[in-house]
Amino acid sequence: MNLTVKKSFKLNGEIEIPSDKSLSHRAVIFSSLAKGKSVIQNFSKGQDPHSSLEICAQLGADIIQNGQTIIVNSTGILKKSSDNLYCGNSGTTMRLMAGVLSGQNFDSVLTGDESLSKRPMKRVIEPLSLMGAKISSDNFHAPLNIKGEQLTGITYESKIASAQVKSCILLAGLFADEVTKYKEIYPSRNHTEIMLSNMGANIYNDNDYICIEKSELRPLEINICGDISSAAYFIVAGLIVPDSRIILKNIDLNPTRSGIIEVVKQMGGDIEILDQRDVCGEVVGDIRIEYSPYMKGIEIGGKIIPTLIDELPVISLLATQCEGQTVIKDSQDLRNKESDRITTTVCELQKLGADIDQTPDGMIINGKTSLKGGVETDSYKDHRLAMTLYVAGLICKKEILINGFEWVNISFPEFLKLFERLK
Ligand code: S3P
């Protein structure tokens, strides 16, 4: 689907941001591992979490969907699927399920679409193999042929701050003999730790290590809150589209996810958190944003990166509207996402007239530039790039065309409808 986006003024109103993708994946996967009836409310409509849901059903969980309410009845014991388990575009599905399936008493094959089949799986295959897993692949790429084994716990220090890798190893640890200890260079999102702990897993911290032991899980009752990675497009749009004022309701503000708020504050943007509360161990609140024409460029790197990793394309767009230079560094893993997001973001924003260049581990953006538009752009089959380009189109002088906009459905099918509501 090709989409034309025109310049906009005054985005105004209050909207509820749809369900968090990371929490939706975890809720359905963990519920399938728990004996009994789990109730998940406000499950994501995105294609990625539905890949996880379909795989859990293939592995024997009885899953009933009623709108966005999902009821999972499980014996807590998964069953072999005679078919391949298709993860679609979803790295989270493939990496988390690799951890679960390595410790089962049956074999499985995880497959993915073209993009997922190019993404690196060595980061999970290596530590899983140390636990005794038997996984064969074509040079560490999907399909992953997993031979179920009795695993043994390991003590592992990961060089990358990746919640997918961490969650994979913690899930494998649920089925392993002896304790599994995991440490990462910087804290990545901790939804797995919070949810597993709420479900009764034997999971705890020991100095810088997260430790997990073989555990039986209790069923889950959860109402999933809004996704800050989806809210990010409205935050940036509200800051850069003249005369805007937006309130975003019910967002997960877990400190391991909400780095974008800190960045906007440091840039001098008008942003405020309202009604902060605790929901199932997650920090939740509303966000107010107002048009902020006088923001300044900053340096973004180090331990904040994992807390805003998926937001970096749209943050780089925001930086084009800040006075001075913004330097994004320590983000080399952006090259391993649904597209090489350093190259694709820089290439497409340059087309629009931005002063942006790539470095091996990030980007350098000089602002403030008025984006001219009047060009055809491409999503590179990457949902986050499609949405970033849409927000860019709202401030371009001339309309832009986005090829492959339908990839938005991977995480955020409600995206256009919600933007229309604010216009
Ligand atoms: C995710 C972790 C991040 C993020 C992805 C979702 C998760 O990936 O980019 O969209 O739900 O655990 P990495 O673990 O590769 O950083």
Q: In the prediction, which pLDDT does 379 show?
A: 98
Cα(190)–Cα(57) distance, integer angstroms: 25
Distance (angstroms) between ligand 1 centre and the Cα of 323 equals 31
**Is there an atom of ligand 1 within 6 Å of 331 CB?**
no
Ligand 1 atom closest to Cα of 167? 12
Quickly state the pLDDT bin for 399 (edges 50, 70, 90).
Answer: very high
Do 327 and 362 touch, CB atoms closer than 8 A? yes
7 and 47 fall within a common domain:
no
Q: In the prediction, which pLDDT does 286 show?
A: 98
175 and 127 fall within a common domain:
yes
81 and 107 fall within a common domain:
yes
346 burial (CB, 10 Å; 0-12 / 13-18 / 19+) is buried
Distance (angstroms) between ligand 1 centre and the Cα of 44 equals 16
Which residue is closest in CA terms to ligand 1's atom 11? 22
243 and 147 fall within a common domain:
no
**Is there an atom of ligand 1 within 6 Å of 22 CB?**
yes
The 10s digit of each residue's pLDDT in 148-207 is: 999 999 999 999 999 999 999 999 999 999 999 999 999 999 999 999 999 999 999 999
112 and 238 fall within a common domain:
no
Distance (angstroms) between ligand 1 centre and the Cα of 92 equals 6
Distance (angstroms) between ligand 1 centre and the Cα of 146 equals 22
The 10s digit of each residue's pLDDT in 273-301 is: 999 999 989 999 999 999 999 999 999 99
Last residue of a domain, one of 160, 188, 223: 223
Ligand 1 atom closest to Cα of 166? 14
109 and 15 fall within a common domain:
no
Q: In the prediction, which pLDDT does 131 show?
A: 98
Distance (angstroms) between ligand 1 centre and the Cα of 188 equals 9
The 10s digit of each residue's pLDDT in 79-97 is: 999 999 999 999 999 999 9
213 and 275 fall within a common domain:
no
Determine whether 62 is an active site residue: no
**Is there an atom of ligand 1 within 6 Å of 92 CB?**
yes
> In a 3-state reduction of DSSP, which class is residue 3?
strand
Instruction: Supply the mean pLDDT for the chain.
Output: 98
65 and 12 fall within a common domain:
no
Quickly state the pLDDT bin for 319 (edges 50, 70, 90).
Answer: very high
**Is there an atom of ligand 1 within 6 Å of 89 CB?**
no
- Helices 383-393, 341-352: axis angle to 10 degrees equals 20
Last residue of a domain, one of 223, 246, 278: 223
H or E element, residue 97: helix 91-102
Phi-psi region of 299 (alpha: psi -120 to 50; beta: other; left: phi over 0): beta
160 and 34 fall within a common domain:
yes
User: What are the structure tokens assigned to 341, written together?
Assistant: 């997001």
Q: In the prediction, which pLDDT does 297 show?
A: 98
104 and 159 fall within a common domain:
yes
215 and 229 fall within a common domain:
no
Range of the domain at 133: 21-223
CATH, residue 214:
3.65.10.10
Q: In the prediction, which pLDDT does 247 show?
A: 98
271 and 349 fall within a common domain:
yes
In total, how many domains does the chain have? 2
Q: In the prediction, which pLDDT does 265 show?
A: 98
The residue from 48, 252, 286, 310 that is catalytic is 310
Last residue of a domain, one of 176, 204, 223: 223
CA angle, 270 then 312 then 382, to 5°: 125
**173, 191, 174: which is closest to 182 by C-alpha?**
173
Quickly state the pLDDT bin for 119 (edges 50, 70, 90).
Answer: very high
**Is there an atom of ligand 1 within 6 Å of 307 CB?**
no
Mean pLDDT of 1-11: 97
Q: In the prediction, which pLDDT does 84 show?
A: 98
Distance of CA 23 to the CA centre of its chain: 9
